[in-house]
Structure 1
Amino acid sequence: MSKLIIEELNSIVDKKLISFHVPGHKLGKIYDKLNYKNTLNKIYSMDTTEIPGTDNLHSPEGIIKESQERASEVFKSDKTYYLINGSTCGIQAAIMALCPPKSKIIANRDCHQSVINACILGDIDPVYINSEIDKNTNILKGINIYDAIKVIDSNLDAKAIILTYPTYYGMTYDLKRICDYAHSKDIVVIVDEAHGAHLGLSEELPKTALEQGADIVIQSTHKTLPSFTQSSMIHIQGDRVNEGRLVSILKIIESSSPSYILMASLEIAVDIYNKYGTKLMDELLNNINKLKNSFKENNNIEFYDTNDKTKIFISTINMGLIGYELETILREEYNIQVELSNYYGSLLICTIGNDSNDFKSLETALNEISEKYRANKSIEKIEYPNNIPVKKLTPREAFYKNKKSVKIYESIGKICGEYIIPYPPGISLTSPGEIITKEIIDYILFCKEKGMNVSGLKDSNLGQIQIIE
């Protein structure tokens, strides 16, 4: 018999699942540790709306205005706005505030799907910078500086450039150099810093996007800091952004009934960041270093060297496992949940909500797994399809075209009518309006068989795909 939502959530709480995934509060442990429990015990009673005293997110003059100003001060922006529709609405508002219909935006190819959705909504034409990939792990490493400069020089009519920094896997690059170059060409810089809200907490971490000169920065506060899922922030600095237009678009795409619970959780996250964040980050980085040092003599466990040290990618090749298998073993046998897996390993997102016991449990599990699965089989090589597909239509043109479903291998060479997105992390291999290649079809079918989830397709079994008629 299937469970209801509340039954499954209660089960996860009762099992005390060990979380190396988002959200950053880690099943609320950080709230208990820092004595926010009394406030949060009343959180359901705080579910209210715009009444006298509660202010209005879309026209703040009181408590919300003051709360956002405090967040701006803590995160060192000129202006900060709370987002209660996740970073998605911040990305879409930033893009549409800067890029009028029929204009052009430059984006890293491994951008989040919300970037392409914004191009559909705003009738904007995306131009892509290819992303670099580690072929031994299929980790997306970000963009090459010279590739970015080349695309900028070829598209000087672009209104903005949007970049993902850091990548989902915690990789970074010289963002400041790109910001400076884009600004020299009168191009505004938006940064999707969804996975970097915590970067300002330690000198051992990469510099923040604001420190490197970005004009608009969107952060998923809930991912790496302790706010509730779907709560995020958008930060602005400098005079290149039409703030009024940005606010107007936020009013259009955000709910007209914003959640006070989500806003309250953002305020709590800001408070924790400001009062305890640096100390907690020092403890976290120390726990991560201890974990990695404990496996220095273990050749079966290999940790990828990420720029953002709070991201841990465990390569499974030497154990003769694929990443999806490691994820399943950790969850079913050790009550540990990772963030995501790809073919070659598993990614763990560590935050200031994790404690030393989490890492002790992980160390025990990895020791036992590496002993049990010591190169039990060889791993077949698979290449990530990293070439940018040919674009025949803009995303918006493709969205409104008539479509038909065909058998998946019959779609090769045709114009895609939907998304092909391995999820997580939600990065599109093929978007509406692009030519479908055999390389991509082979990849998704192979990886789905091994355990990868693929979203964006009407047929989740991947038997058919929609193409433009």
Structure 2
Amino acid sequence: MEGRKAAAVFITSPTYHGICSNLAEISKLGHSHGIPLIVDEAHGAHLGFHPQLPNSALQQGADLAVQSTHKVLCSLTQSSMLHMLGNIVDSERIGRCLQTLQSTSPSFLLLASLDAARAQLSENPDTIFNKAMELAFEAKHLIKEIPGISVFDLASFSNFPAIDPLRLTIGFWQLGLSGYEADEILCRDHGITCELVGTQSLTFVINLGTSRDHIQRLVSGIKHLTGTHAPIHGGKGRLQHSGCTPFADIKMSMIPRDAFFASKKKVSIAECLGEVCGEFICPFPPGIPVLIPGEIITDKALDYLLDVRNEGAVITGASDPLLTSIVIVVAHAMPPIFCRLTPSPVIIINHQHTSYPSFNF
């Protein structure tokens, strides 16, 4: 890319588990070169509304921030906001771009719920999250005292400046349980539904609707779980996934667009190794692709997919959710010829495709 200037820096912060990047330093660096900072702040619509919460992206100098307001605040599902700050990004151009994408028949229920969520925050902006913060710290304290259970905290990621205290990630690897198994037990026996299932952990979100009864039921359910699954001697469970193992050797044979339009065929799982993947394959939750079109199928990626499938993950995107077969690109198949655009590059930091976390904390 010599001689070409980056169009923007794009960052996901916080992550699904609440890990925050140092946006203030990144925005300062980008702005010194006239480059805007765009933040996917889907899980951070509440940030900045309590002294113990990390600052929001805009408070740290971001130029654009996209928030899924419904994830933590009290708007309806599918409602979100795009925030702008400063004059590096042309607001009129953003407006024109939105006009090409947005419906001319928006849902006024969603719009009204966004306004209601905004009004709720504006009534008591300094105290609205007091109860939620209190319950979050209480839950972490009680759960840390349960033998065989690990609680993810900032010490696990000391290189990052902050973590959202309203995210509660609990590890079950010392019990020899996968996150999928723990989730099934807690849901079936205690009616507890988590926000995110991982290979060795579950993530819960404390929000404005959380009550002390919810926390007590969660703690009680985890205690019951440890009572039926004693910690394994030496603290080593049977699950020893390396968090980013499937992504350590990513090799792209084609750009995703070319792979999408290329001729493809379905082959058995035993025949796909080393072939070019022709579809998105995403364990869900959280729905982060392990393989994308154009990527070479490796041993590590395949083993990982089969492992999480066997542990109970739902495979989305794949034409065969049981993973007995995978769609691959036919060798030497060329896509149809379309006009190729060469926009300025965008720097992507913490792109979730390169980080499918499985905490061993």
Interval of TM-score (by shorter of Structure 1 and Structure 2): 0.7 to 0.9
Q: Measured at CA, do residues 277 and 303 of structure 1 come closer, stay the same or move farther in structure 2, by a change above 3 Å?
A: farther
Per the alignment, residue 327 of structure 2 pairs with 466
CA contact 1:324–1:450 (8 Å) conserved in 2: yes
Per the alignment, residue 359 of structure 2 pairs with none
C-alpha separation in 1, matches of 2:298 and 2:136 = 40
Higher relative helix content = 1
CA contact 2:197–2:286 (8 Å) conserved in 1: no
CA contact 1:156–1:185 (8 Å) conserved in 2: no
The SS at the match of 1:251 is helix
CA contact 1:389–1:430 (8 Å) conserved in 2: no
C-alpha separation in 1, matches of 2:178 and 2:266 = 32
C-alpha separation in 1, matches of 2:292 and 2:27 = 27
The SS at the match of 1:280 is coil
Is 1:193 paired with 2:67?
no
| Structure 2 letter corresponding to 1:370 | T
Per the alignment, residue 356 of structure 2 pairs with none
- List, as ranges, runs of 4+ consecutive aligned residues in structure 1 with deviation greater than 4 Å: none
C-alpha separation in 2, matches of 1:161 and 1:223 = 24
Is 1:437 paired with 2:293?
no
Per the alignment, residue 293 of structure 1 pairs with 141
Q: Which residue, out of 314, 317, 326, partners 1:453?
A: 314
Query: Shift in Å at residue 156 of structure 1?
Result: 5.3
CA contact 1:392–1:415 (8 Å) conserved in 2: yes
The SS at the match of 2:174 is helix
Q: Within 5 Å, give how 1:312-331 maps onto structure 2.
A: 312-331=168-187
C-alpha separation in 1, matches of 2:4 and 2:281 = 30
C-alpha separation in 1, matches of 2:124 and 2:229 = 40
The SS at the match of 1:162 is strand
Q: Which residue, out of 47, 62, 72, partners 1:214?
A: 62
Is 1:415 paired with 2:276?
yes
Q: Measured at CA, do residues 293 and 429 of structure 1 come closer, stay the same or move farther in structure 2, by a change above 3 Å?
A: same
The SS at the match of 1:440 is helix
Q: Which residue, out of 215, 235, 255, partners 1:359?
A: 215
Q: Within 5 Å, give how 1:32-111 maps onto structure 2.
A: none
Query: Shift in Å at residue 296 of structure 1?
Result: 4.2
The SS at the match of 2:9 is strand
Query: Shift in Å at residue 391 of structure 1?
Result: 2.2
Per the alignment, residue 383 of structure 1 pairs with 242
Q: Measured at CA, do residues 426 and 162 of structure 1 come closer, stay the same or move farther in structure 2, by a change above 3 Å?
A: farther
The SS at the match of 1:462 is coil
| Structure 2 letter corresponding to 1:438 | D
| Structure 2 letter corresponding to 1:236 | M
C-alpha separation in 1, matches of 2:52 and 2:116 = 24
C-alpha separation in 2, matches of 1:173 and 1:202 = 18
Q: Which residue, out of 191, 216, 221, partners 1:335?
A: 191
Query: Shift in Å at residue 399 of structure 1?
Result: 2.0
CA contact 1:195–1:223 (8 Å) conserved in 2: yes
Q: Measured at CA, do residues 411 and 183 of structure 1 come closer, stay the same or move farther in structure 2, by a change above 3 Å?
A: farther
Deviation digits for residues 244-281 of structure 1, max 9, x if unmatched? 23222222222221100000110111111111454231
The SS at the match of 1:404 is strand
Q: Measured at CA, do residues 388 and 248 of structure 1 come closer, stay the same or move farther in structure 2, by a change above 3 Å?
A: farther
Query: What is the number of residues matched between the two proteins?
Result: 317
Query: Shift in Å at residue 336 of structure 1?
Result: 1.0
Report the TM-score, using the length of structure 2 for normalisation: 0.82
Per the alignment, residue 232 of structure 1 pairs with 80
CA contact 2:259–2:278 (8 Å) conserved in 1: yes
| Structure 1 letter corresponding to 2:226 | S
C-alpha separation in 2, matches of 1:285 and 1:190 = 28
Q: Which residue, out of 265, 268, 293, partners 2:113?
A: 265
Per the alignment, residue 102 of structure 2 pairs with 254
Is 1:347 paired with 2:195?
no
Q: Name stretches of at least 5 consecutive residues in structure 2 with no aligned partner.
A: 155-162, 331-361
C-alpha separation in 2, matches of 1:364 and 1:302 = 16
Tell which deviates more after alignment, 170-179 or 155-164.
155-164
C-alpha separation in 1, matches of 2:284 and 2:88 = 34
Per the alignment, residue 171 of structure 1 pairs with 19
| Structure 2 letter corresponding to 1:325 | E
Q: Within 5 Å, give how 1:271-290 maps onto structure 2.
A: 271-290=119-138
Query: Shift in Å at residue 392 of structure 1?
Result: 2.8
C-alpha separation in 2, matches of 1:180 and 1:467 = 43
Per the alignment, residue 160 of structure 2 pairs with none
RMSD after superposition? 2.0
Per the alignment, residue 8 of structure 2 pairs with 160
Query: Shift in Å at residue 331 of structure 1?
Result: 0.9
Query: Shift in Å at residue 403 of structure 1?
Result: 1.7
Deviation digits for residues 185-219 of structure 1, max 9, x if unmatched? 33322110000001121121211111111111000
Q: Name stretches of at least 5 consecutive residues in structure 1 with no aligned partner.
A: 1-103, 105-153
Query: Shift in Å at residue 419 of structure 1?
Result: 1.2
The SS at the match of 1:312 is strand
C-alpha separation in 2, matches of 1:226 and 1:195 = 13
C-alpha separation in 2, matches of 1:219 and 1:186 = 24
Q: Measured at CA, do residues 232 and 363 of structure 1 come closer, stay the same or move farther in structure 2, by a change above 3 Å?
A: same
The SS at the match of 1:444 is helix
